């Protein structure tokens, strides 16, 4: 069988939080959920988006760590900080382009999604991607994704001029090659499509 990979397909997410609840059940960090489920803007839409660690090929969090506390396994999984080394400085929290690492004051340590390493390293699928009822999170082969999804799976991002390649793939509309994430003007309100407003739909028709 081909290698299993992690895929995020944002268009499928229904915001049910099965991933959040299941992440808590993982033996390496029981009781604490490492996945982030973002509710984009509930007043305007029911859209939600799950965010696991993308496991960058060259992890930025590890590069900026002054204590060398963040390690990558030979199979490309970036782990939570090592307890004896982490100094709680939160450089990683600030540097991650995906907003994944979080600093936990109670244990004075950074923790993050570790690809369910206790499971994936023994051939099991990660908790979140196994339970995800919409399969917005999926752990399967590239062939299976190509066979069953209309979009394509990519793992190349551009943050301004910087290219980031990740172990985790995202499913995007066909023909997309990479994802450019430019600067966002946070004070400017995004224009709402009529599609998002039920009152507008009722006025404009189909």
Partner 1 sequence: MARLPTSLDALSEEFGPHPSHEPAGGWLPIGEPDRVVKTHCCFCGQQCGLQLKVKNEKVVGFEPWEEFPFNRGKLCPKGVKRYLQDEHRDRLRTPLERADGVGFRPVAWDPALDRVAAEMRRIQQTYGADAFALLTGASLTNERAYLVGKFARVALRTANIDYNGRLCMVSAAAASKKVLGIDRAANPWSDIPKADVILIAGANIGECAPITTDYIWQARERGAKIIVLDPRMTPIARTVDLFIPVKPGGDIGVFNGMLHVMIERGWIDRAFIAAHTTGWEALAEAIKRYPPSRAAEIAGVPAPMIVRAAELWGPARTSFLLHARGIEHHSKGVENCMAAINLVVATGRIGREGCGYAMVTGQGNGQGGREQGQKCDQLPGGRDIENPEHRRHIADVWGVPEHSIPHKGLSAVPILEAIHEGRIKGLLLLCFNPMVSLPDQSFIRAALEELEFFCVIDFFLSETAQHADLVLPTALMEEDEGTTTNVEGRVIHHRRVVAPPTGIREDWRILCDLAQRLDAGQHFRYRSPAEIFAELRRASRGGVSDYYGITWERIDREGGVFWPCPSPEHPGTPRLYEGARFGHPDGKAHFQAVDWRPAAEEPDAEYPIILTTGRVVAHYLSGTQTRRIGGLVDQTPEPYCEIHPRLAEQLGVRDGEMVRVESRRGAVTVRALVVRTIRPDTVFVPYHWPGERAANRATIRALDPVSNIPEYKICAVRVTPA
Where does this chain bind partner 1 (CB under 8 A)?
A: 11-18, 20-22, 24-25, 27-28, 30-31, 42-48, 125, 127, 130-135, 148-150, 192, 196-199, 201-206
Scan for tokens 């099965």, then name that residue.
18
How many Å apart are CA 153 and CA 148, to the nearest integer? 11
Whose Cβ is closer to partner 1: residue 97's or residue 151's?
151
Find the shortest distance in angstroms from Cβ 74 to partner 1: 24
Whose Cβ is closer to partner 1: residue 72's or residue 134's?
134
How many Å apart are CA 91 and CA 40, to the nearest integer? 25
Find the shortest distance in angstroms from Cβ 88 to partner 1: 22
Whose Cβ is closer to partner 1: residue 31's or residue 105's?
31
Residues 159, 11, 135, 181, Cα dihedral to 10°: 0
Whose Cβ is closer to partner 1: residue 132's or residue 172's?
132
Query: Is residue 168 a contact partner of residue 52, using CB atoms and an 8 Å limit?
Result: yes
Find the shortest distance in angstroms from Cβ 19 to partner 1: 9
Query: Is residue 79 a contact partner of residue 73, using CB atoms and an 8 Å limit?
Result: yes
Whose Cβ is closer to partner 1: residue 74's or residue 123's?
123
DSSP annotation of 58 = S
- Other C-beta atoms closer than 10 Å to the C-beta of 12 total 16
Find the shortest distance in angstroms from Cβ 161 to partner 1: 32
Find the shortest distance in angstroms from Cβ 125 to partner 1: 8
């Amino acid at each position: 069988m081909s290698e299993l990979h992690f895929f995020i397909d944002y268009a499928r997410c229904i915001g049910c939080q099965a991933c959040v609840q299941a992440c808590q059940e993982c033996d390496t960090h029981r009781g604490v959920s490492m996945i982030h489920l973002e509710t984009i803007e509930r007043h305007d839409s029911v859209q939600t988006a799950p965010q696991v660690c993308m496991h960058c090929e060259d992890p930025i969090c590890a590069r900026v760590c002054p204590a060398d506390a963040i390690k990558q396994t030979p199979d490309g999984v970036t782990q939570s900080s090592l307890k004896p080394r982490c100094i709680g400085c939160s450089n990683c929290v600030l540097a991650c382009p995906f907003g994944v690492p979080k600093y936990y004051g109670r244990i004075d340590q950074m923790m993050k999604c570790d690809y369910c390493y206790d499971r994936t390293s023994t051939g099991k699928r990660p908790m979140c991607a196994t339970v995800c009822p919409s399969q917005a999170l999926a752990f399967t082969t590239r062939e299976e994704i190509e066979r069953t999804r209309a979009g394509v799976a990519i793992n190349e991002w551009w943050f301004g001029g910087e290219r980031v390649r990740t172990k985790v793939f995202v499913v995007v509309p066909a023909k997309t090659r990479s994802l450019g994430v430019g600067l966002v003007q946070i004070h400017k309100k995004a224009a709402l499509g009529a599609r998002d407003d039920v009152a507008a739909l009722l006025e404009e028709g189909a």
